[in-house]
Structure 1
């Protein structure tokens, strides 16, 4: 086998290896980005849940009326929607939107 052929095979194999490593790295990066975004969404939803639970506790302790607590919670959740990349909504058990 000629030296040029051996060199061509070596370069081709190395190139295939680099392409394979790049593809694997891009796949892992994509997975990491998706997992990171999912974790951010879970965190945001937990914060919204704790916010509403806070107003629910104020209503349960008698510090606020039910209507006042719901209004305050709606206002607070609407403020969380200030960023155009997030969107919170709340529906009651009758499928009526309370916050949109």
Structure 2
């Protein structure tokens, strides 16, 4: 009996990236929601960035990871990894700036 997953390296890397993406999204979902509910945002910019990162960027990161098969056919493997990296960097940057504004 052969492997139960597609034998491509793409899917192996996709699974590894998923561990990071899903862990990060879960962490920020819990941490960000706690910050939001606790009223820690002292400025409108911090509050807006917190809401944007929770409601738009985190689901976008998970969605780009989930639709890998569809995107791979349209933009190729290299394009997919570039898109996932771009979304991940925007997401991480927004979280970093949010955390800095709330400190």
Shared fold by TM > 0.5? Answer: no
Greater helix percent: which structure? Answer: 2
From the CA coordinates, give the structure whose radius of gyration is larger.
Answer: 1
Q: Does 1 or 2 have the higher relative contact order (CA < 8 Å, sep 6+)?
A: 2
TM-score, scaled to structure 1: 0.35
TM-score, scaled to structure 2: 0.35
